[in-house]
Amino acid sequence: MSGGVDSSVTAALLKQQGYDVTGVYMKNWSQDLPGMVCPWKQDYRDAKRVAVELDIPFKMYDFETEYRQKVVDYMIAEYKAGRTPNPDIMCNQEVKFKLFLEAALEDGADLIATGHYARTKDGQLLTAANEEKDQTYFLYRVTEDALKHSLMPIGDFATKVMVRAKAAELGLATAEKKDSQGICFVGKVGIKDFLLHELGEQPHGAIIDQHSTTLGEHDGALFYTIGQRHGLSVGGGLPFYVVGKDMGKNEVYVTTDLQDKNLWHRNLNLSSLHWINEAPETGKSYQVRTRYRASLVECKVSLNGDTATLELAEDIRAITPGQSAVLYDGNRVVGGGIVA
């Protein structure tokens, strides 16, 4: 129970359905950052308050050390390498559906439940009834065995309004609590501010356009991501878009040409593959999502050992190394990999 409305309703529904429910708050991050107090204490209190309302046992699991190693350090290392990682995906893989699951089973539980907008069935991961809130993109690296031990009842709700209405009907303290924003573990602090806090000021370097003209100076290549338009502080007139960067030379490359070949891709190379149930079939059509809430695009998959190539039915803009591409077969998540 995170202290939010989704996990609160999850606990209430499971109790209504006759499950023997224990509420657990995961303490993953408690560090305050410049300009922001970490909200973990308030979230903990909110979760505990709902547990009291539901008359269920409540406890806290402290994964802060492991979280730092498995999620935060991974994220920082990826940015330093010039890639753009997704820490929410790593959190689900390493913490929620691994550390938490293992700890819960050792604690005597038969199953874990979360407030994710997704559905599970016989070890398969299925999309949520609420397409707008569907979170399967962040869950594609969860294992089949973990899914067999997981419940996600919120996935059956068609809208967030329905979830809040259910919380209000049950009189839960979190019924009107706002959704959390920002990085999964530090709340409202932006990623640039967080990286500056962790790594300090970065060496400045050249911003170079498609004509090899130096336009200005960036304040750290690791802060820029492919397709980025804002925050470049160069020139007037047509907007510039980031199309690449060289971490060795400490250069950021931009273009004003929206048709620049570096902005669009018809083929994707993936590494760090993870298939939930079985590997995709060569030649079969699947759908791929290359960022959260991006439109699904038809594709075919070629496997080559521990890498894969996706042949897309149409060009996709601003493919970003380090991000995930997630494959779907209808409403079933096949798995995916990291964009190379």
CATH 2.40.30.10 fits 264-339, yes or no: yes
What proportion of the chain, given as a percentage, has pLDDT over 90?
Answer: 89
Which residues lie closer than 8 Å to 190 by C-beta, 6 or more apart?
A: 182, 183
Q: Is the pLDDT of residue 186 over 80?
A: no
Q: What is residue 33's predicted lDDT score, i.e. its pLDDT?
A: 83
Single-letter amino acid, residue 106: E
* Cα–Cα distance measured from residue 162 to residue 154, given in angstroms and rounded to the nearest whole number: 10
Q: Is 299 a catalytic residue?
A: no
Residue carrying the six token digits 């691994």? 98
Nearest C-alpha neighbor of 3 from the set 42, 55, 56, 43: 43
Give the DSSP letter string of 39-66.
THHHHHHHHHHHHHHHT--EEEEE-HHH
pLDDT at 9: 98
User: Confidence band (pLDDT; 50, 70, 90) for 51?
Assistant: very high
CATH of 202-255, one of 3.40.50.1100, 3.90.1200.10, 2.30.30.280, 1.25.60.10: 2.30.30.280
Q: Among 61-70, 146-155, 227-236, 266-275, whose mean pLDDT is lowest?
A: 227-236
Q: What is the pLDDT of residue 35?
A: 77
Q: How far is CA 119 from the centre of its chain?
A: 17
Token pair 């089973």: residue: 105
* Separation between Cα atoms, residue 28 and residue 277, nearest integer Å: 29
| Contact (CB, 8 A) for 216 and 204 | no
Say which residue the tokens 């708050």 belong to: 25
Please say whether the beta carbons of 255 and 241 come within 8 A: yes
Pick the CATH number of 5-169 from 3.40.50.12710, 3.40.50.620, 3.40.630.30, 3.10.440.10: 3.40.50.620
What is the arithmetic mean of pLDDT over 144-165? 98
Query: Of the residues 90, 147, 184, 333, which is catalytic?
Result: 184
Decide if 184 is catalytic.
yes
Average pLDDT, the chain: 95
95-125 residue pLDDT tens:
999 999 999 999 999 999 999 999 999 999 9
Tokens of 138: 């962040």
Question: Long-range contacts made by residues 131-137, C-beta under 8 angstroms, separation at least 24?
Answer: 132/293, 133/160, 136/326, 136/328, 136/333, 137/89, 137/289, 137/291, 137/292, 137/293, 137/324, 137/326
Catalytic-role residue among 50, 71, 72, 91? 91
Average pLDDT over residues 32-36: 81
pLDDT value of position 184: 60
pLDDT at position 183 over 80 = no
* For the chain, domain boundaries: 5-169, 202-255, 264-339
The pLDDT tens digits of the residues spanning 227-267 come to: 999 888 887 788 999 999 999 999 999 999 999 999 999 99
According to the model, what pLDDT value does residue 211 have? Answer: 95
Q: What is the DSSP string of 60-129?
A: EEE-HHHHIIIIIHHHHHHHHTT----HHHHHIIIIIIIIHHHHHHHTT-S-EE---S-EEETTEEE--S
Q: Cβ of 75: how many Cβ atoms within 10 Å?
A: 26
Length of the chain: 340
Residue 309 bridge partners (DSSP): 269, 302
Per-residue pLDDT tens digits for 197-212: 999 999 999 999 999 9
* Rg from Cα positions in the chain: 21
Question: Quick one: pLDDT at residue 236?
Answer: 73
Measured CA to CA, the distance from residue 187 to residue 41 in angstroms comes to 13
Give 12's pLDDT tier (boundaries 50, 70, 90): very high
Rounded to two decimals, what is the model's pTM? 0.94
Is a pLDDT exceeding 70 seen at residue 188? no
What is the tens place of the pLDDT at every residue in 258-310?
Answer: 999 999 999 999 999 999 999 999 989 999 999 999 999 999 999 999 999 99
pLDDT (0 to 100) of residue 273 = 98
